[in-house]
Amino acid sequence: MLYQIFETQRSIMEPFSDLAQAAAKLYSNPLNPIAQTPLAQRVSAGYALMHRLGKDYVKPEFGIRTVKINKTDVAIHERIEIDKPFCELRRFKRFSDDSATLTLLKAQPVVLIVAPLSGHYATLLRDTVKTMLQDHKVYITDWKNARLVPMSEGEFHLDDYINYVQEFIRHLQATYGQCHVVSVCQPTVPVLAAVSLMAGRGEKTPLTMTMMGGPIDARKSPTSVNNLATNKSFSWFENNVIYRVPANFPGAGRRVYPGFLQYTGFVAMNPDRHATSHYDYFKDLIKGDDASTEAHRKFYDEYNAVLDMDADYYLETIQTVFQDFKLVNGTWDVKGVDGRVERVRPQDIKHTALLTVEGELDDISGSGQTRAAQDLCSSVPASERQHLEVEGSGHYGIFSGRRWRDIVYPQLVKFIKSHEAQPSRKTASIVKLTPVAAPKSAALKTTKSAQAASTPAAKASKKPAAKAVVVKVPAKAASKVTAASKPKASVKTTWIEPKKKA
């Protein structure tokens, strides 16, 4: 009933929002005599703000037309590679008529970016995609709005999410031979589960797995998001935030966690900040600061665009990740497409290098939650595991904006390139990062059979393993660190030599 009331209110407000937009243009048009009156700018700004607060926000476009690679503009063609009922695997195909650039593009690594299904669209990672297109072939999971998926397509569960990820990984492996996986926020948990299940079956796993700001172990440094999930029961969520899609959408009758409720929760986390932002927008309109007003519009066009999540997927995520902690407790069973139920065992992963990234001031996935993957993936050699903590960065800063481009991305691209189809990893024990003591649970556990294996990772395991490494990058160094630059004095560089046998 609440969903229907909201849609009715939105439909009533829509024409008033359009009128406010027209009035804002009327009072700001220099050819209109009214616009020359003393209060015209304030009236126009007020109507413009009213329009922004009342308008309906639809799914934004990625809008990536070109990227610059080696000082050459490369055209981007966005297309759907695989179309599933609840997700599209979207590819950003790069084109160039420069032979040298084309040769470079063909040799670059393939990366699957798994976007969050937690309220916002995959376009939230626009900056992530655009930056990575400079050095990689990029694919991304573009999750669909559940209210647009007909009931005939069936339900969508957390297990289906994991099966989708595995299917996309296999598709890229079949096309290119191998791939790398990058997960941001919410998908870190299902991605780790997907790779764990593939490893447990003996399937080929991705070369690297990068996890950024995700709730691997939500018990560590709990945030307001975690506290809500633990303080409310499963039945509370089912009875208070789940509604059926109204009849005016293709997914009419589907049980969902509506986007407008999610948006209310986002704003409730920082209401003062949003109020200040809108007031600043009003003042910038009066001053005629076009750059600031356009930046405000771009941010809120993205932030205010939300999607509905299928109820089964949402409730299972709450229970599995934030209430029962099934991943870290080793009690998570997943149903595959063949109907077989398998236990998620991250310790089965042996040949996929791991990079975890956290923001020091992350208020969504607290400190230590993502790094917990280092302990779970105990069979990955310590020299193949790295952790990056960005000082002064919040949640969005680790995958978007200046800190992402100047601090996180240079480390990420270096990490991926160092594991890209190398015949041998002789330098695996030498890492240009600041060392920290690896937890005992993260120590490399090898057997005689594993040492006899012929894979590069197994060969590397014969040598004494270096300790897991972590780097902390101060916020002040953000403007100085670039993808092409060497580490500055603010980033401590250390050669890590393997310990000699006693």
Please tell me the predicted confidence (pLDDT) of residue 501: 38
pLDDT of the residue at 472: 53
Long-range contacts of 319-326 (CB under 8 A, 24+ apart): 319/234, 320/158, 320/189, 321/189, 321/215, 321/218, 322/215, 322/218, 322/226, 322/229, 322/230, 323/229, 323/230, 323/234, 325/217, 325/218, 325/219
Q: What's the pLDDT tens digit per position in 75-128?
A: 999 999 999 999 999 999 999 998 899 999 999 999 999 999 988 999 999 999
For tokens 């941001």, name the residue.
184
E strands in 241-332: 243-244, 255-257, 309-310
Region 379-404: mean pLDDT is 94
What is residue 251's predicted lDDT score, i.e. its pLDDT?
96
Structure confidence by residue, pLDDT tens digits, 177-203: 999 999 999 999 999 999 999 999 999
Tell me which residue has tokens 């948006």: 263
- pLDDT at position 223 is 87
Q: Please give the share of the chain, as a percent, with pLDDT higher than 90.
A: 72
Residue at 189: amino acid letter: V
Which residue intervals of the chain bear CATH 3.40.50.1820? 66-231+310-424+469-475
Q: How much is the pLDDT for 305?
A: 93
Q: What is the mean pLDDT of residues 225-254?
A: 92
pLDDT in tens, 436-492: 344 443 333 333 343 344 444 444 444 344 344 555 544 444 444 333 333 333 333
pLDDT on residue 116: 95
Tokens of 208: 């690297």
pLDDT at 144 over 70: yes
Residue with tokens 């595991």: 385
Mean pLDDT value of segment 364-383: 95
pLDDT for 448 equals: 38
User: What is the CATH topology of the domain spanning 66-231+310-424+469-475?
Assistant: Rossmann fold (3.40.50)
Mean pLDDT for 60-68 is: 94
Please tell me the distance from the alpha carbon of residue 471 to that of residue 433, in angstroms, as a whole number.
6
**Order of strands, sheet of 309-310, starting from the edge strand that comes earlier in the sequence:** 243-244, 255-257, 309-310
pLDDT, tens digit (0-9, with 9 covering 90-100), for 36-58:
888 999 999 999 999 999 999 99
Please check the confidence at residue 498 and state whether its pLDDT lies above 90. no
Q: Residue 497: pLDDT above 60?
A: no
Phi then psi for 32, rounded to 5 degrees?
-90, 125
- Please state, for a pLDDT cut of 70, what percent of the chain lies above it: 84
Considering the chain, what is the average pLDDT of its residues?
Answer: 85
